[in-house]
Amino acid sequence: MGVARLKESGRIYEEDFANSNSSLDFKWEVLPNDPARYDAGRGSLVLKHGSDPLYMFYKPLTDIKQFVMDVRNSYNPDTEGCYGGVIVFVDEHNFMEIEEFLDMSLPTPLLKTYPWIRLVRDYNYYTAYWSDDGLLWNIIGSVELAGAPKIGLYLKGDGDHPMQVQYIRINKGTSVAVDNLTKGTVVDLIDKNGIVLESRVCRSEETVVHFDMGQYSYPFEGNFGVKLPDGNRFQAMDSIKLFRGDQMYFEVTPDLYYKESNPETGEDFDVLLYPNTDRFLGYLTAGGSATQEVRMFAKNPMMSGEFRDVTFALTTGTEKVQIAPDVGGIPGAFSYSITAFSISPGASYPFWLRMEREESQDRYASQVKFSLQMYSTYI
């Protein structure tokens, strides 16, 4: 994770219908819920005309007060009176439609269609944009709507040309924030090739800087460099994926991983553990082994500087879980805390966790919960 850990993800929803065969997510509400009116899983989400308007609302957006919704679609109606696009619906008297349609009233018929549609919600204010490429956006207009809206896609009219949606992404914003800074701190946004793309300075009375990610690929692959007012600089050697709306927290700590085996190939792979999150490490079933051992390691992700006196301590569940250093590929003496005296840049410190099965009432499986805290000094 480098110099910044994820404090809050900006990713709300993403579906690439053009490259997936999945069915429609259960969080979508379809009205009327007629399977003949829509189809997903064949390269696009297809909305079809009928006697009644078709609405597809993404239900979580009713309660999310700030977000950015981008939709890539193709809709080229050949009949006047047919409309498609994105809708914000409060009631029949209060709604907003970002329309695509055919206008036959002009001397030369006008097909009004947008390859990309963007809807931005800022509490009760809704702003519509269109784009040819999903990078450069043109404003359409803005409205204020109070109440609890339903938000999503719609199709109206009696025509034969369907609306095809290739891609939808919904994020909490268009920028990435880095917090926990002091006045005068400089933060660099660095791409996966190590090139500094832009820099931000933390100003007085602030603890955060923002990078507008609209001009970069999605998700963005790279990392940050941080230079403190005292001249010390921190930069990670690995890239991470950043999603628009992500809230990052400046924190220089080792990255923590555990080893997991692929049940089909038997090969081991590394799984990154995120701070303050739960992780399922496997079952301890009755009739099997009474203990389970998991290989862990802490990696120094920085380009320079070492971590010293890195202490790993179990804080809950310690009566059933213990920790041990790695000694030649096997666990050493188990206890409730261990210390790595030094972890150099790019190096890893291996260790082991051992979990003991609890007797469960159903006698089929048991669940052991614990937390692992990590303390260190960075030089």
Fold classified for 11-171: Jelly Rolls (2.60.120)
Closest by Cα among 20, 67, 61 to 153: 61
Q: What is the DSSP letter of 216?
A: S
Across-strand partners of 187?
200, 226
Per-residue confidence (pLDDT) for residue 19, from 0 to 100 = 82
Determine the pLDDT at residue 331.
Answer: 94
- Give the CA count within 13 Å in the CB-facing half-sphere of 182: 6
**Domain segments of the chain as ranges:** 11-171, 175-250, 255-378
DSSP 104: -
Distance, in Å, from the CA atom of 119 to the CA atom of 130, rounded to the nearest integer, reads: 9
Q: What is the pLDDT of residue 287?
A: 55
Answer yes or no: CATH 1.20.1070 is held by domain 255-378.
Answer: no
pLDDT tens, residue order, the chain (379 aa) = 668 888 999 999 999 998 877 678 999 999 999 999 999 878 899 999 999 999 999 999 999 999 999 999 999 888 888 999 999 999 999 999 999 888 877 666 667 899 999 999 999 999 999 999 999 999 999 999 999 999 999 999 988 899 999 999 999 999 999 999 999 999 999 999 999 999 999 998 889 999 999 999 999 999 999 999 988 888 888 899 999 999 999 988 888 998 887 777 878 888 888 776 777 776 655 556 678 888 999 999 888 888 999 999 998 666 788 999 999 999 999 999 999 999 999 999 999 999 887 665 555 555 677 888 888 887 7
b/e string for 335-356 if b means 16 or more Cβ within 10 A? eeebebeebeeeebbbbbbebb
- The SS3 assignment for 196 reads strand
Q: What is the pLDDT of residue 367?
A: 66
Six-digit token pair at 75?
């809709």
Domains 11-171 and 255-378 share a fold: no
The answer to whether domain 175-250 has CATH 2.60.40 is: yes
